[in-house]
């Protein structure tokens, strides 16, 4: 019997920052995270909300100190591009499911005016019934588990917000009529359900055959790297793709503290200053320039919400990934 080769233990290291991954088709968000974590040899990692295996596109991956702020991306608006094939409905709302119904498509009726009317119908606050094939849980069990067992359970409608929706007639490679969708929406929006509802509104049914997230919380595809690119990089090039922790804080008001105030703020002590009220502030130390954490200001009082540890700050200053723009 041939002896197994000894397993090589990966030497982990502190990595602090955000890597924008262009997630490939067929890979779960967690599998993508674990793969990149292994490539970077990072000690601590987390993602900012799941992206379906059948979807591609922007998936921010957080490492080290950045994991403290990953929740900010969970609540951020997201933009998707999708294609819904008209005239066919499926059990899952996408191409993975079994066909439920086929219907003739009257392309002449799909004028730009008609599509604009339907887009307006689904713009603003709307209610969605979550699909059975989703990770939403009922009684501690994911809905897709019920669906696989052939059990349909009642799902209460949820309130979501569509801030922008554009629809255009297109065709698949097989010359089948389809709708190209570009949508900016709140968290919790099911694009598969939106595609089905649009198909129903057009009178012919539809299911998604393509889904790509192009932006989340102001982070777009232009800053993304693919797994294939990362795998082809050397170690230094991989680290260059890791953006600073403050990438997640673009919408925060900036406050800079002198040394004494910075030390007290890191200890959780409230500071007073001439600052206007602000719900979200990113707080930096002046010398050396370093992110200390996030907080909020009420009546001139700066109150800490999430803080970096002194060790994390030291590691970042000593050579964790910097604001390098990869070539």
Which residues are known to be catalytic? 52
* CB 17, CB 245: distance < 8 Å: yes
Residues in Cβ contact with 83 at an 8 Å cutoff, skipping those fewer than 6 apart: 170, 172, 178, 179, 180, 181, 208, 209, 210
CA distance 224 to 234: 17
The H or E element containing residue 166 is: strand 158-171
DSSP-based three-state secondary structure for 125: strand
| 277-300 as b/e: b if 16+ CB within 10 A | eeeebbbbbeeeeebbbbbbbeee
CA distance 211 to 80: 7
Q: Taking each helix axis as running N to C, give the angle between helix 112-121 and helix 191-201, from 0 to 180 degrees, rounded to the nearest 10.
A: 130
Does the bond joining 288 to the residue before it have cis omega, within 30 degrees of 0? Answer: yes
Distance of CA 215 to the CA centre of its chain: 8
CA distance 309 to 303: 16
Give the residue among 289, 272, 284, 281 at the shortest CA–CA distance from 305: 281
* CB 58, CB 22: distance < 8 Å: yes
CA distance 166 to 181: 6
- Dihedral, 188, 189, 192, 196 alpha carbons, nearest 10: 130
CA distance 176 to 11: 51
């Amino acid at each position: 019997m041939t002896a197994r080769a000894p397993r090589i233990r990966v030497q982990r290291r502190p990595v602090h920052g955000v890597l924008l991954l262009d997630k490939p088709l067929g890979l779960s968000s967690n599998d993508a995270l674990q793969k990149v974590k292994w490539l970077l040899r990072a000690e601590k990692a987390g993602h900012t909300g799941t992206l379906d295996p059948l979807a591609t596109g922007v998936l921010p991956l957080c490492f080290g100190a950045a994991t403290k702020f990953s929740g900010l991306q969970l609540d951020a608006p997201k933009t998707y591009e999708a294609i819904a094939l008209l005239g066919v409905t499926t059990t899952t709302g996408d191409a993975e499911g079994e066909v439920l119904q086929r219907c003739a498509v009257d392309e002449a009726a799909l004028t730009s005016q008609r599509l604009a009317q339907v887009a307006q119908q689904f713009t603003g606050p709307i209610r969605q019934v979550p699909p059975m094939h989703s990770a939403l849980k009922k009684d501690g069990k994911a809905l897709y588990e019920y669906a696989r067992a052939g059990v349909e359970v009642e799902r209460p409608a949820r309130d979501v917000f569509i801030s922008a929706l554009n629809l255009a007639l297109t065709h698949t490679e097989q010359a089948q009529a389809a709708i190209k969708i570009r949508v900016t929406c709140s968290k919790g929006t099911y694009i598969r359900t939106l595609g089905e509802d649009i198909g129903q509104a057009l009178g012919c049914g539809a299911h998604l055959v393509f889904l790509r997230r192009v932006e989340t919380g102001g982070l777009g595809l232009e800053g993304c790297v693919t797994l294939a690119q990362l795998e082809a990089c050397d170690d230094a090039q991989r680290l260059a793709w890791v953006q600073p922790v403050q990438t997640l804080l673009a919408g925060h008001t900036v406050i800079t503290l002198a040394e004494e105030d910075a030390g007290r703020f890191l200890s959780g002590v409230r500071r007073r200053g001439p600052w206007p009220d602000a719900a979200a502030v990113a707080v930096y130390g002046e010398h050396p320039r370093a992110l200390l954490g996030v907080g909020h200001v009420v009546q001139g009082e700066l109150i800490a919400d999430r803080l970096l540890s002194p060790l994390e700050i030291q590691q970042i200053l000593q050579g964790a990934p910097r604001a390098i723009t990869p070539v």
